[in-house]
Structure 1
Amino acid sequence: MRSLVSVIVLFPKQEIARNIRNLLVRSGFEVIGVCVTAAQVIQRMEGMEEGIVVCGYKYADMVYTELREYLPDGIQMVLIASRAHLEEECDMANVHYLSMPLKAHSLIETMREIVSSISNNPKRKKHRPKERTREELQLLDEVKRLLMENNRISEEEAHRYIQKRSMDSGVSLIEMAKMIKESLTY
């Protein structure tokens, strides 16, 4: 039986991320991405109201507490870290903690509990997030390209910039992209 809840695996070392992905896939979970930076996760989770991020403590671009702030409330996080890190901070909402060394059955059991709680949530919507139109996708790509050229940043950094500005100002990603485009083209 396959899980209908999307999972993203995030570890700074690609090999560890792949191994965890393989374990989850063999256990019936739908892993939609393997990432090595938090920015990749934020980009993949855009528009999703629920899902699970299985991750380590620290990545090249931020630590898990910062990533948690960028994710919607419906996204659960399974943090795999040493006991020392877990003892420091164990009270964040929507974060489930597993200590190293990781036991496969503990991860699978935790994942099944989370999927069950998400699936049984009466507020769960039965529809997928609204897909962006071709024009909206072209606008986002154009604004990212402008930001990349003007600021000499990567595509991920450009996307994160648009997303952060959108969240900070309380407007949609598309509206923010339009505003940024206007400010850059005049």
Structure 2
Amino acid sequence: MANVIVAFSKPEDAKNIRNILAKNGFSVASVCTSGAQAINSADELGSGIVVCGARFADMVYEELYDCLPPGVRMLLVASPGLWNGRAPEDVVCLGLPLKVHDLISTLEMMMESLVRRRRKQRLKPLERSREEQELIKQAKELLMDRNHMTEADAHRYLQKCSMDSGTNMVETAQMIMSLINR
């Protein structure tokens, strides 16, 4: 489950929201009373959700949103007049008076969205640098020359060794190069 940062200018509001979230099984990483504190907490966590009010002593929610790292989403809890039509596209807004059920269900929806996004990032193939691609190519050429393999066989051999040893293909290519070039 993703981390939640609670940020409201009034400490009692922040504590009340934290208590509601904790009672409903959410992991509240920090409680903040200023935008700067929320930004610092978000930078430390790298991903999660900021549940916040519209105004702080040092900034408004739009400035806070602009300073958040890419993996952090915002749930704005404020009067509709403060954000109506002006909130950034991917900021989720809940109007006051706040209903606990609405807060919990909205946060659960945002958590699911974060999990899907992380899964999608994880499944995206890794981009190899030119040096890494060259190293893999050299290892395949060495295997092809020494063991009379086709390029496809050499590639499959590298993949199998990589999976068997639990290392990535670049590390496996390095091992093969160091073993053969002794």
Where does 1:37-186 land on structure 2 (aligned, <5 Å)? 37-90=34-87, 92-121=88-117, 122-124=119-121
Residue segments in structure 1 that go unaligned for 5+ positions in a row: 127-186
Aligned to 2:29, what secondary structure does the other structure show? strand
- Give the TM-score normalised by structure 2: 0.63
Aligned to 2:73, what secondary structure does the other structure show? strand
Over the matched positions of the two proteins, sequence identity in percent amounts to 42
- Does residue 22 (structure 1) correspond to residue 23 (structure 2)? The answer is no
The one-letter code sitting in structure 2 at the alignment partner of 1:120 is R
Q: Cα distance, 1:86 vs. partner?
A: 2.4
Alpha-carbon distance between aligned partners in 1 of 2:39 and 2:120, rounded to the nearest angstrom: 23
Q: Cα distance, 1:49 vs. partner?
A: 3.2
Q: Cα distance, 1:52 vs. partner?
A: 0.3
Q: Cα distance, 1:8 vs. partner?
A: 0.5
* Contact 1:86/1:99, CA 8 A, preserved across alignment: no
Aligned to 2:84, what secondary structure does the other structure show? helix
The one-letter code sitting in structure 2 at the alignment partner of 1:106 is D
May I ask how many residue pairs the two structures share in their alignment? Answer: 122
Per-residue CA deviations over 1:63-98 (Å, capped at 9, x if unaligned) read: 0000001101221100011121121413x1431000
Q: Cα distance, 1:124 vs. partner?
A: 4.5
Change (3 A) 1:27 1:54: same
The one-letter code sitting in structure 2 at the alignment partner of 1:107 is L
* Contact 1:25/1:31, CA 8 A, preserved across alignment: yes
Structure 1 vs Structure 2 CA RMSD: 1.6
The one-letter code sitting in structure 2 at the alignment partner of 1:21 is R
Residue segments in structure 2 that go unaligned for 5+ positions in a row: 124-182
Alpha-carbon distance between aligned partners in 1 of 2:60 and 2:44, rounded to the nearest angstrom: 22
Alpha-carbon distance between aligned partners in 2 of 1:78 and 1:65, rounded to the nearest angstrom: 12
| 2:157 corresponding residue in structure 1 | none
Whose helix fraction is larger, Structure 1's or Structure 2's? 2
Alpha-carbon distance between aligned partners in 1 of 2:5 and 2:82, rounded to the nearest angstrom: 21
Change (3 A) 1:125 1:49: farther
Alpha-carbon distance between aligned partners in 1 of 2:84 and 2:111, rounded to the nearest angstrom: 25
Aligned to 2:45, what secondary structure does the other structure show? coil
Query: For the pair shown, which has the larger CA radius of gyration, 1 or 2?
Result: 2
Change (3 A) 1:105 1:40: same
Alpha-carbon distance between aligned partners in 2 of 1:27 and 1:71, rounded to the nearest angstrom: 25
